[in-house]
Structure 1
Amino acid sequence: MRLTKFSVAAVALGLVLEAVGVPAQATDAIPFKIGISAPVVTIFPVWMGEAGGFYEKEGLKVEVINMEGGTRGLQVLLSGEIQAMHVGLAPAVLANKQGADLRLVTSTCNTIPITMFTKPGIGMGDLKGKIFGISTFGSETDVAIGILLKQLGLTRSDVTVSQIGGSSQRFGALIAGRIDVAPLIEPATTLAKERGFNPIIDLAAAKTPWIFDSVVVSNSYLKANRATLTRFVKAYVAGAYLALADEAKAKEVIAQKFKTSDPKVIAATYDDFKRLMPRDAAPSREGAENVLAQLEAIGTDIGSRNPADYLDLSIIEALKQEGYFAQLDKMYSMKP
C-alpha cells in the first residue's frame, strides 16, 4: 500500500501522542463542544485537529459550532451549552467586567489580522456618515472600528455601526451595498481585493501586539476539567503543527472548509495562517497589555488591568515541560 505524506505524518504523530501519555482510543469518547465566531483563518487549528484525527486519538468527540460572532458565542459559553469558545481577548475582558470569569488558554493570532475595506471611491477622509459593518457589539471588529475612529478624530456618533456577522457576511454586505466599510480577515481579504474594493487601512501590516483569536473557557471549567481541556489543547496544537508542515493537506482543508477552489484565495489563507500562528500556541502578555490599554483609550471600563486575570498559560507550560512541543518539532519540518 502506498502511503501519502499526510498518512505517514499522521501515523508518526500518533506514535508521538502515545509517547507523551495520550490515552488509546477511548470506548466512550468525551464530548467537547467549541464555538467559533466565524469561519476565518484564525480558527484553522480547530479544523486541522479534526482533519488529522487528533481529537479521536485523544478520546474526544469534538463538535465545532459556528456562533456567528464572538460576543454571542461567549454568551453561549457562559450558559454551559459549550465547553470552549474561539474568540479574542477584548470580548472576554468585557464579559469579565460584567461578572464572568473567563480565561484564554491558547492563541492563534497575537496581532490584529484585519484589513479595512471600503467601496471604490471612498477614502480615509470620507468616512464620516458612513455605515461600518462589524460582527457583534463588543467584538474584536467592534474594538478595531473604535481604534480607527479615534485615529481619525471621529466618534461613534459620526458613523453608523451595524452588526452584520462574520467576515464572509460582512464581505457579502459590502458587495450588496448595505455597508460602506468592512473589517475583513482571510479568505475574505483576498476576495475583496479581487473584486476591486479599496483597502483603506491594513492593521495586519502594522503587526500591532494583540490577542485576536484564542480558546476561551470559564475558569471554573478549567479547574474542574483540566485533563479534558489538556487533551483538547494537545489535539489542537497537533493540528496546527500538521498544517504548518503539510501544505498540501492544509490547503485541501482550506478548500473544503471555506468552500473555495480559487488557488489565490487558498494560497493567501494558508500564508496568513503561517504568518499569524504562534509556534507555542500561547497568548501573548504583550498583546494582552495592549488590548487592555487600547480598550481604556477608547473609553471602555475594563475592570482589572492585570493580564493574569484573563490569561492562563498553565496547560501550554505543562506541555512544554513534558516535552510535547519538542517532540512535535522533531516530527515536523516547519517550512519558513
Structure 2
Amino acid sequence: MKRRNFMSLLLAAALAATAVLAGCGNGGSGKATVRIGEVTRSLFYAPEYVAIAKGFFEEEGLNVELTTTPGGDKTMTALLSNVIDVALVGSETSIYVYQQGSDDPIINFAQLTQTDGTFLVAREADDSFDWNSLKGSVFLGQRVGGMPQMAGEFTLKKHGIDPKADLELIQNVDFANIPAAFASGTGDYVQLFEPTASIFEKEGQGHVVASFGTESGLLPYTVFMAKQSYMNKNEKTVQAFTNAIHKAQLWVEENSAEAIADAVLPYFENVDRDILISSIDRYKQQGSFASDPIIDEAEWNNLLDVITSAGELEKRTEHSELVDTSFAENAIEAVN
C-alpha cells in the first residue's frame, strides 16, 4: 500500500475513531489524565496492562484511559485528530505520516515490544515444519504496509520464499476479522498474535509451527508515541508515563508467566488462565517484551530494512528524526 493510500485510510477512519473514543476526560481524580489508544488487545502488550493493574501509573501521578482501536490506521487517526494523547502502535506508522510531510511529527518515545508478535499457525500440527512447506499454499496474511505483514514477508524472503510468486497471499481481510476468516476455512496458514494462536491450538483449529518474532530480529515493533506538540507541552506527563512503563517492564522481567497472567487477567476476561500463561511464556521465552523503553538505533535500522524489503519505504527516515530517547534514559536512571 502506497503512503497516500495509508493517509486516505487515516482520513476515512477519523469519524469512526472519534465516535469510539469521544468522552475521555479527567476522571475527577485530580491526576493528569493520559488517553492511550492501543492498536489491538493482545498479551503481546502485557507490560502495558501490568503498569495499570499494579498501580505504576498512579504512583507517577497519572490517570490513564485505555481504548483499543483495531488497526494502525485507526490508531494513528485517533492520535492525529487529538482524540487520544498517546498511541501504542508500530513505529512504521510514524514514518508513513512523516513522509507525507508534517509540521507536527509523531515522535516515538518508549518501546514496549522488541520483536514481531505473530506466530505462523498451520491447520495441521507439524513437528518437523520446514518453511518450504508454504510454497504453493494459501497464506492468510495481515494488512499491506503493517508491521506484521512486513515482518512476515521479510521472514519468508529470508527462507527463500517469494511471497508474491511462491504462494497465494490473501491480504484483503480486515485485521480484526483475520482469526474468524481462518477459523471459517480461509487459508492453509495464518499469522496470529497471542492469545489467539494458543486459543486456536486448544480448540484444534490450528497449530503454531513457527514464530515470526524469532525469525525477523529485534525491532521497535510496538512503541508509545505522541505528537511533538503534545510532548513539548507535557514533558512532565510524558516522563511520568515512561517511568511507569519502565517499572512495569522490570516487574514483567522479574516475575513468572503465572504472576503476569494473574495481573493482566482483568483485560482478558474471556480467556482461560492456562492460555494466558502459555501465551505470556511464549513471548517471554523469545524476548518479545522490551526490558527498557529505549528505542535504539540498531533496532530502528532493522525496522527500516524490513520496510524497505516490503517496498513500502520512500526514503530512509533516520532515528534522530522520529525518536526521542531522553524520556527512556531518564526513566532508567529514576527507576533502576
Q: Normalising by the residue count of structure 2, what TM-score does the alignment of the two structures yield?
A: 0.77
Structure 2 distance, partners of 1:108, 1:53, is: 17
Equivalent in the alignment of 1:332: none
- Residues 73 and 85, structure 1, Cα contact 8 Å, conserved in 2: yes
The CA distance in 2 between the partners of 1:121 and 1:29, in whole Å, is: 50
2:138 partner letter: K
- For the pair 1:225 / 2:234, whether they are aligned, the reply is yes
Measured in 2, the distance between the counterparts of 1:302 and 1:325 equals 39
39 and 213 in structure 1: CA distance in 2 versus 1, 3 angstrom threshold? same
1:36: how far off? 0.8
Within 1, Cα distance between the matches of 2:117 and 2:89? Answer: 13
Post-superposition offset of 1:249? 4.3
Distance 1:186 1:44 in 2: 11
User: In structure 1, which of residues 38, 41, 51 is the aligned counterpart of residue 40 of structure 2?
Assistant: 38
Q: CA deviation at 1:147?
A: 2.6
Alignment of 1:3-18 (within 5 A): none
Q: Verify the 8 A CA contact 2:57 2:244 in the aligned structure 1.
A: yes
C-alpha distance in structure 2 between counterparts of 1:81 and 1:93, whole Å: 20
Secondary structure at the residue paired with 1:205?
Answer: helix
Paired AA for residue 170 in structure 1: I
Say if 2:115 and 2:214, in contact at 8 Å, map to a contact too: no
Which residues in structure 2 correspond to 1:241-280 (within 5 Å)?
241-247=250-256, 249-260=259-270, 262-274=272-284, 275-280=287-292
Query: Could you say which residue in structure 1 is the equivalent of 2:14?
Result: none
For 1:57, the equivalent position in structure 2 comes to 59
- The one of 186, 192, 198 equivalent to 1:190 is 198
8 Å CA contact 1:187, 1:266 repeated in 2: yes
Stretches of structure 2 that go unaligned for 5 or more consecutive residues are: 1-27
- Give the distance between the partners of 1:219 and 1:161, measured in 2 at CA: 33
Calculate percent identity across the aligned residue pairs. Answer: 17
Aligned counterpart, 2:246: 237
Residue 285 of structure 1, aligned match among 275, 297, 316: 297
1:93 to 77, 92, 95: 95
Amino acid at match of 2:260: A
Structure 1 portions without partners, runs of 5+: 1-25, 327-336
| 8 A Cα contact 2:220 2:303, kept in partner | yes
How large is the Cα RMSD of the aligned pairs? 2.8
| Residues in 1 aligned to 2:298 and 2:221: alpha-carbon distance in whole angstroms | 13
CA distance in structure 2 between the aligned counterparts of 1:285 and 1:313, rounded to whole angstroms? 10
- Cα gap change, 1:77 to 1:315, in 2 (>3 Å): same
Match of 1:312 among 300, 324, 331: 324
The total of aligned residue pairs comes to 296
Letter in 1 for 2:280: Y
SS of the residue 2:292 aligns to: coil
The C-alpha deviation readout for 1:17-54, integer Å capped at 9, x for no partner, is xxxxxxxxx96222211111111123222211211122
- Among 69, 72, 80, which residue is 2:71 paired with? 69
One-letter amino acid of the counterpart of residue 159, structure 1 = L
Measured at CA, do residues 142 and 92 of structure 1 come closer, stay the same or move farther in structure 2, by a change above 3 Å? farther
Could you say what secondary structure the match of 1:182 adopts? strand
